[in-house]
Copies of this chain bind each other. A is one copy, B any other.
């Protein structure tokens, strides 16, 4: 495709995207396709000839759009928001259009240095001290793995240079809340610690946050048994309920054992853009005395803030701890420049996209005040929904609403007693899933059921860019209608 062909096709595609974004609210939220239906609508063999952009757009309309759950839909309140702000879409287009290659500072000085600059802007905007340095990874799953690999090596005396994890005299142990995101146990297992050396720490029954005493006891027991605490993952905003582990209390406990503290604020990190929410990570810099600072922090601008996927920030206090584990210095990557940051040594991939551009475009085109105003709108809408649910007979809010997610359940009298005691848990689970699935299947809204304390509940997680109170109210109305319908057949 020549630049002139690109120009013509690009204009067509830009118009199509603008039109598509305009009509999203009229689409069903949940994809209405059955497994295999999309694949069956496509040729099973590769194209032999050449087609033009109109053929592609026709297929986007015919197959792709109906095959997507519309997470940009104003009534998508299911998974955590995954906004793709159009300003950031332009930044990502600039990245692809420039065709830069991040394998070393030399290959793309601007890719490296804009990433440094923008990560530092984000540091300032989230109130982190200048002792933190950031880089962009694809997702928080990867960021957590990277942090745990660095933690593994620090705790194991840099065994990578010798016999590896296979050679350590003491097993290394990792700790996280039992409410931690699934990517945390996954990262622990991928890093080779083994499930036997993962402690999922008990949480408070009300707040669902990690219990410091339980962490302290688990660490002490491991030390007594000859094991070595390597890392604690602190969840700021868990997936099920957005519970906030008490970082300031946990840090000195971890510090007693020299364990790496990784702060996973994948979704909630966006709230740090609001000064009134900086309490979420109180203590992260330590107190200069008994409480040390955390070692790493990750969060995803590609979630609530809305810099299009994939854009996950990982901040560390000492990049040397990453570099010592991840660095490669082959001759063909020799850089003529000294004293430059080589981001390849801060993470897993060698070749990196110019991801800083999408953050840069997002911040400059949309502006920080507008982003902050939107986050505050969502927090208010969640509060308002929680009040409405609490006031509605037969409904219950199941967890503190600290951010933009409301955990709720419809509890019909025959299944739950007036004092909240569950009378028939299995029937309650069936009922919850029945009305939630019916709501999702209707396409009128999309909520995500999840298990809390062994029982299904429903999360309404607000934060799509276009979601206004009217949309939240519409979903809430639909939820009541579906729950009533499901109750009728109990």
Contact = CB atoms under 8 A, between A and B. Distances in A.
Given A64-B114, A68-B100, A364 B164 contact: no
Contacts of A166: 165-166, 168, 171-172, 192-194, 197
A85 interface: yes
B172 A349 contact: no
A366 B49 CA distance: 8
A338 to B, nearest CB: 7
A142 B51 CA distance: 32
A351 interface: yes
Contact of A113 (B9, B67, B83, B351): B67
A131 interface: no
Given A10-B18, A107-B79, A361-B56, A366 B50 contact: yes
Contact of A331 (B18, B49, B71, B450): B450
B368 A47 contact: yes
Given A68-B98, A309-B351, A349-B138, A165 B190 contact: no
A112 B37 CA distance: 11
Interface stretch (A28-36, A213-221, A379-387): A28-36
Interface in A59-106: 60, 63-69, 71-72, 79, 82-90, 92-94, 96-101, 103, 105-106
A202 interface: no
A82 B351 contact: yes
Interface stretch (A120-128, A246-254, A482-490): A120-128
Given A3-B22, A142-B349, A328-B186, A363 B46 contact: yes
B182 A367 contact: no
A13 interface: yes
Contacts of A51: 364-365, 367
Contacts of A68: 98, 100, 108-111
A448 B192 CA distance: 36
A37 B4 CA distance: 33
Interface in A1-55: 1-7, 9-11, 13-22, 30-31, 33-39, 42-53, 55
Contacts of A225: none
B308 A99 contact: yes
Interface string A440-470: 1000000011110000100100000000000
Interface string A291-331: 00000000010100000111000000000000001101111
A110 B142 contact: no
A37 B105 CA distance: 12
Contacts of A122: 46
A474 interface: no
A69 B107 contact: yes
B239 A35 contact: no
Contacts of A48: 368-369
Q: Name A's interface SS.
A: helix
Contacts of A363: 46-47
B183 A350 contact: yes
A176 interface: no
Interface in A246-266: none
Given A6-B90, A309-B351, A351-B309, A125 B195 contact: no
Given A121-B46, A163-B194, A361-B56, A450 B89 contact: no
Contact of A110 (B30, B31, B191): B31
Nearest to A166: B171
A478 B365 CA distance: 43
A69 B34 CA distance: 46
A353 interface: yes
Contacts of A20: 97-98
Nearest to A34: B337
A47 B348 CA distance: 31
A149 interface: yes
18 contacts: A3-B22, A13-B93, A16-B97, A31-B108, A42-B114, A51-B364, A56-B361, A60-B94, A69-B107, A84-B96, A99-B308, A101-B309, A141-B351, A166-B192, A191-B192, A309-B351, A332-B451, A336-B437
Given A182-B330, A334-B449, 5 more contacts: A42-B117, A88-B96, A164-B197, A309-B353, A336-B437
Closest 5 CB pairs of A and B: A164-B194, A67-B110, A84-B99, A17-B97, A50-B367
